[in-house]
Structure 1
Amino acid sequence: MTTSTIPFDADRARRIAAAREAVPDHAVDRVAEGMFRTDALIDSAVADFATMGRGVGWRILGEMLHTKGPSLSGTAPDSLRELLTPLLNPPDWFDPEQVRRGAQLWWRFAPAVIIGLGGTLMTAYAFGDLNKPQAMNSRSEAMAAQRYEETSRWVLAATAPGALIPGGTGFDATIRIRFVHAMVRRHLRTCGKWQRTEWGEPIHTSGMAVTIDGFLLMPLAMHELLDMDLREDEREAIRQLWFWIGYLMGVPDELLPHSIDDAADISRAATIVFAPPDEDTEVLTKALLRGGLRAERVLPKPLWPIAAPVVRPVMSTLVWGGTGRIVNSYSNPEGTPPRNHPVILTLRQVAKVREHLRRKGRLGTDQDIALRQRAVLEGALNLMKAVTDPVDPRHAVTPARP
């Protein structure tokens, strides 16, 4: 498929033409074509699961992930073996030590990660086609806070240093999130409401790539904004972390971040090619601003029903509104990076002191720093009694409880 053969949409054609004025053609082509491609390997596996006895496919998946595959080669469907074999036996280019180092460096300063995480989630809502899986699945509007908690738990699992090797907890969680996407995609394709010409395929490869690039680029941008310089080799290790995660998630090679500049080109092309904000953008964003953090859960449980109507919207607006303003102003090429935003000014001073101590060796190793910084997000989630795990694939299209 080429951009000349994708389903015709006059508005998209105009956006593609506009993107070519700002971004290299090859990036525009890959984004436009990727909107009509999906993760075919896992789609086949999920289809096979549907023909098996209740829970059989999920049991086989769990056993293959925990035993690294070989013992179950005779009982697993061909689609699952085709999916997992290259993942359980990584290609030669996979460097586990670089990926481990990338995870350590990505967690050098938790606020940069947390702002980048929030910004990446908000980006998915900002486009009138990319937001449709969230809007139609109903989970995000009614359960904005739980979606954030589940995504945060996955990020914590996937970026735990050393956890992304086959058999590791991050590896397991990432493969299961890939199944979540496939389950939602299967539901959307069969619900009779999906508009392929207008929106592309549900959870298409370009959307997956942009999400991976967001987790790569936004925290790096925050490090720059806070005057925390990362060396080129450090940035490269972080790129390898997200390249590997993208590979595990099913992002095709042509959309993986082969360099930071290439990731930026893909992201920039997508922001122009994807549809502009629509009513679903407003609904989903408002859901974040009013209910994106279940902050009342820091209180004793009997007080939750009383405090939630006040505490939840106040804290959600404070956190998500601030995150949105910082990310939007920084990402807007016509805007001014928010160097004088009060939050940024404060964090920059904290970062300056920490960087001085780090260079003096007072903060310990990169591993020591990463473990403490990860505890910032994990501690906040625990304090709010957040869900303890990423969403289970079997529950991916079932609305959760508030």
Structure 2
Amino acid sequence: MNPSLAQVHERIALQKSALPEMYGNIDFSQSPERYTECIEDSSLPESLRQMPPPPADMVGRVKAYTMLGDVTADAYAALMGEYGFKRLVEMLTTACDTGLGAVPDAPPELVALIEEMEAKPDWLDMDLVREGARLNRLPMAITSPWMIRGAFLATFLNKYTALPMAITGTLGYSTSARRVNETATFFTVTTLPGALEPHGEGFKAAAMVRLMHSMVRFNILRKVKTWDVSVYGIPVPQVDQMPAGLIDVFLLAYQMLGEGRTEFTAEERARVEFSRYRCYLLGLPEDLLMDTPQGIIDIMNARSASIREGFDDETCGTLVRATLEAYLPPDRKLGHRIFNALEKRLARLVLVKHFLGGDSQIAREIGVPVGPLDYAVAMVLFPYISAKMALYRFALSVPGLRGLADRRLTARIRRLLKRYGHAEFTTDAEAYRPAVPVTA
């Protein structure tokens, strides 16, 4: 059963006593400036503001989780002073690869993190998750390489939520490509066969992402004196992980309601359960992981409506430009240079279509102008991508071809992971810069 709202608030307040070195000076009874209850001031797109509002209890949970970090992973990250961040990464990697028994004198905080991730929620059906992973291999292998940068750009459109990434110094011009590729690596590797099982590649990637986010929280709250909790709230709160983890099923649910459907098909249910379990491994509270189309839409809209709208060029504009100009392939071979040039064109259109409501004027204002050449590239590439997807869908629907097609997709994903490079999922506090003052 989901915890009551009172229990949620107790869990949030517990951070203060459980981790006083991180949260001891934070007043969890106060809402940060980034939170708003006025939909006209929020980041919810205009096109969604006329929809019926989410249930009050859901709105209350989103508000509460705005101040929740990741208690279990935060406790492990707080050991940096004793072990150093490299040793923490090594112990976590070993525990994920071969088990806790392979880590001599494993600290209790590491044991708690691994055991929490290995615990199976009551709603979990691993057969559905495995089927969802299989179904997601097709778009991840064929479509996502062309779309990941555009989706990544969307995470920089709000100054309150983008600030932690700006502070860490890891999304400047020199390192933005690495973070885009690490993000692509995480979502890609989770679709491999068995990846989300204990000791699987996706399971380990989820653990590493949790540690990275906790390291960011620890370093910002401890070392960035200009971080104002009354303005920004907790760095990388749980609600800010929802868009990346649930965007695919949110778009699916929104499409379904437009078609007048309220029930998932068997394949859609598998895709939803895959995304929900992946989010669970990332530490998202279970009561944020809705399992109906309307529930998914409501929780995502409640989150967007809770964040005050705001775009500033120093934070958001810099991140957008750096990511858009980044060179993502691992080398300068002709084929990779051509891919990078074309993919950047599509990234602009992905951002405009899926995250800016189709408004090219807004895109121009934030430094992502869309021109005739972008549309010309799309007119050639989108039919090519669609045709390739259709051929694989046909092969996957034929019993005699399904296994071969899936093996080819798996091999393609392996090649993509090699191209994306080794994902470190770490953060270096020495590279952090001061927080930029934000005005409402």
Find the counterpart in structure 2 of residue 32 from structure 1. Answer: 63
Distance 2:121 2:321 in 1: 43
Question: Which ranges in structure 2 are unaligned for 5 or more consecutive residues?
Answer: 1-8, 11-27, 360-375, 433-440
What is the CA distance between 1:130 and its match in structure 2?
Answer: 1.2
Q: Structure 2-normalised TM-score?
A: 0.72
What is the CA distance between 1:247 and its match in structure 2?
Answer: 1.3
Find the counterpart in structure 2 of residue 284 from structure 1. Answer: 319
Q: How many residues align?
A: 375
Query: Match for 2:78 among 32, 40, 47?
Result: 47
Contact kept in structure 2, 1:34 and 1:205, CA below 8 Å: yes
Structure 2 residue 210 is the aligned partner of structure 1 residue 178: yes
Amino acid at match of 1:80: L
Aligned in 2, Cα 1:253/1:209: closer, same or farther, shift over 3 Å?
same
Aligned in 2, Cα 1:319/1:288: closer, same or farther, shift over 3 Å?
farther
What is the CA distance between 1:140 and its match in structure 2?
Answer: 1.3
Amino acid at match of 1:359: S
Contact kept in structure 2, 1:290 and 1:313, CA below 8 Å: no
Structure 2 residue 99 is the aligned partner of structure 1 residue 68: yes
Structure 2 residue 172 is the aligned partner of structure 1 residue 141: yes
Distance 1:269 1:247 in 2: 19
Contact kept in structure 1, 2:37 and 2:305, CA below 8 Å: no
Contact kept in structure 1, 2:149 and 2:324, CA below 8 Å: no
Over the matched positions of the two proteins, sequence identity in percent amounts to 19
Query: Match for 1:373 among 409, 430, 439?
Result: 409
Contact kept in structure 1, 2:128 and 2:273, CA below 8 Å: yes
Distance 2:387 2:283 in 1: 39
Distance 2:165 2:400 in 1: 44
Query: Match for 2:116 among 64, 86, 103?
Result: 86
- What are the residue-to-residue correspondences of 1:266-281 with 2, within 5 Å? 266-276=299-309, 277-279=311-313, 280-281=315-316
Distance 1:344 1:299 in 2: 21
Distance 2:237 2:199 in 1: 27
Structure 2 residue 125 is the aligned partner of structure 1 residue 98: no
Distance 1:380 1:87 in 2: 27
String of CA shifts for 1:274-310, please: whole Å, max 9, x gaps: 232332222211122222534862249xxx9xx8xxx
Distance 2:236 2:190 in 1: 20
Cα RMSD for the two superposed structures: 3.9
Q: Structure 1-normalised TM-score?
A: 0.78
Amino acid at match of 1:67: T
Aligned in 2, Cα 1:221/1:111: closer, same or farther, shift over 3 Å?
farther
What is the CA distance between 1:161 and its match in structure 2?
Answer: 2.1
Aligned in 2, Cα 1:54/1:244: closer, same or farther, shift over 3 Å?
closer
Aligned in 2, Cα 1:87/1:9: closer, same or farther, shift over 3 Å?
closer
Structure 2 residue 201 is the aligned partner of structure 1 residue 169: yes
Contact kept in structure 2, 1:115 and 1:219, CA below 8 Å: no
Distance 2:412 2:254 in 1: 20
String of CA shifts for 1:223-257, please: whole Å, max 9, x gaps: 999xxxx9611111111112111111111122224
Distance 2:41 2:345 in 1: 38
Find the counterpart in structure 1 of residue 402 from structure 2. Answer: 364
Structure 2 residue 57 is the aligned partner of structure 1 residue 14: no
What is the CA distance between 1:158 and its match in structure 2?
Answer: 1.9
